[in-house]
Amino acid sequence: MSNTTSPFIPAASPATWLGVMGGGQLGRMFVHAAQAMGFKVAVLETSNDCPAGHAADHLLCASYTDETALKELAAQCVAVTTEFENVPAQSLALLAQSRFVAPSAAAVSVAQDRVAEKRFFTECASISGVLPAPNKTIESENDINAVPDALLPGILKTVRMGYDGKGQVRVNTRDELRIAFAGMNGVSCILEKMLPLAYEVSVLAARGVDGKMVVYPIAENVHRGGILFTTTVPGPNVTPECAKKAQQAALTLIERLDYVGVLCIEFFVLQDGSLIVNEMAPRPHNSGHYTIDACVTSQFAQQARAMARLPLGDTRQHSPAVMLNILGDIWFNGDSNDVREPAWDKVLALPGAYLHLYGKEEARRGRKMGHVTFVAPTLAEAQKSLHAACGILGIPL
């Protein structure tokens, strides 16, 4: 059932409740943005100690498939969204029987499955102008034997549940592919050709139930160990042609998905300048955190507007920005297990610093604990603050 065909539900006003599936940091920042507009927010999450739960007006502590809890969420809220990609699409479909759900179960299920996602990208290529990396689904020994040599070296990725570089193995040869697939515990995988990346970008777009669309400035992303390290906007490497092409592709794709809400699309720019579409996230995205402090409407406020069927907000960026992800590693002194609080006082003394911590009690290496965005009149000044912050926090540049 399409979200755009729900004529009986009136538009929400900020005096009403919005619901979120998932209790992570994206949910927390959504809660903050929605509350700032006057909404109350209910969060459904399995754990009662979660970043969004600490901020929500109501935390429903239950499994994502608990029908009683889903009915309660639907009854309380005028609209429901998801803050994480792997919410069971079935649960969204169930909620949609009685409530406006954005994005829809159908759109989320495409983004959850790398094979469906690549098929969608390929089907849209003639109108979007972008193709995904050459790839092949791997489910058996026969599939491995049938892999064309041109797909190697490649990256073997699980079809479902991968994030932050998890569920991925780089393989140079067919034998390495065999070993890597054997280590994936029998789950369906996809092999992608390893592409010569020049840099990575992402585009956030949003679409309303009325079909109106907006797009944010393109973001340039640096990953470390598969996890986003920094996002810089405007990206130092991004050409105007690349930005236009990626933004246009994002708008084409969000429309073709009949999507409602905020969608993030990741792209690769190859060394020859060509643009490849990598993956999409059916929600606000880590690379869009800069919008909180550098744009008129943050990605989270935009999600609240789309859900409430209010007009979408201005995506204009008012300041150049650099976002630094804060991982749990910096709570530890070198390799030791001694935990210490990073010197936030020194970071906050830097010009243009906005600190966002997600309220996670326990710092673990590789765990996303927060982010800092530096805004400044010029990108060079924002980058200067970033460099100083990395020095203070002991993050090698």
Closest CA to 228 of 200, 204, 251, 203: 200
18-46: string of b/e by CB count within 10 Å (b at 16+)? bbbbbbbbbbbbbbbbbbeeebbbbbbbe
Residue 344: which of Mg ion, ligand ADP, none does it interact with, CB under 5 to 8 A by kind? none
Geometric angle at alpha carbon 169, from 249 and 262, rounded to 5°: 30
Element (DSSP H or E) covering residue 306: helix 299-307
Geometric angle at alpha carbon 322, from 321 and 326, rounded to 5°: 140
Q: Does 342 contact ligand ADP by CB under 6 A?
A: no
Nearer to ligand ADP, 164 or 258 (CB): 164
Choosing from 163, 229, 344, 354, the residue that interacts with ligand ADP (CB under 6 A) is: 163
C-alpha 32: how far from chain center = 17
Residue 223: which of Mg ion, ligand ADP, none does it interact with, CB under 5 to 8 A by kind? ligand ADP
Q: Does 279 contact ligand ADP by CB under 6 A?
A: yes
Choices 20-28, 71-79, 191-199, 356-364 (CB under 6 A): range interacting with ligand ADP: 191-199
Rounded Cα gap, residues 370 and 358, in angstroms = 5
A 10 A CB-CB count for 57 gives: 15
CB of 117: closest distance to Mg ion in angstroms?
Answer: 11
What's phi and psi for 327, nearest 5 deg? -95, 160
CB of 111: closest distance to Mg ion in angstroms?
Answer: 11
Q: How far is CA 301 from CA 75, 92, 141, 169, 295, in A?
A: 23, 21, 47, 36, 11
CB of 133: closest distance to ligand ADP in angstroms?
Answer: 4
Choosing from 62, 194, 357, 392, the residue that interacts with ligand ADP (CB under 6 A) is: 194
Helix (H, G, I), strand (E, B) or coil at 334: coil
Binding-site string for Mg ion from residue 251 to residue 280, where x marks contact by CB under 5 A and - marks none: ---------------x--------------
Q: Does 155 contact ligand ADP by CB under 6 A?
A: yes
222-231: string of b/e by CB count within 10 Å (b at 16+)? ebeeebbebb
| Total residues binding Mg ion (CB under 5 A) | 1
Nearer to ligand ADP, 45 or 200 (CB): 200
Binding-site string for ligand ADP from residue 100 to residue 139, where x marks contact by CB under 6 A and - marks none: ---------------------------------x------
The overall longest dimension of the chain from CA atoms, in Å, is 60
Strand 40-45 versus strand 58-61 pairing type = parallel
CB of 320: closest distance to ligand ADP in angstroms?
Answer: 23
Rounded Cα gap, residues 311 and 37, in angstroms = 13
Binding-site string for ligand ADP from residue 199 to residue 238, where x marks contact by CB under 6 A and - marks none: -x----------------------x--x------------
Nearer to ligand ADP, 102 or 264 (CB): 264
Residue 293: which of Mg ion, ligand ADP, none does it interact with, CB under 5 to 8 A by kind? none
CB of 212: closest distance to ligand ADP in angstroms?
Answer: 28
Q: Does 388 contact ligand ADP by CB under 6 A?
A: no
68 neighbors 62 (Cβ within 8 angstroms): yes
Q: Which residue ranges make up the site for ligand ADP (CB under 6 A)?
A: 133, 155, 162-165, 192-195, 197, 200, 223, 226, 266, 278-279
Q: Which residue ranges make up the site for Mg ion (CB under 5 A)?
A: 266
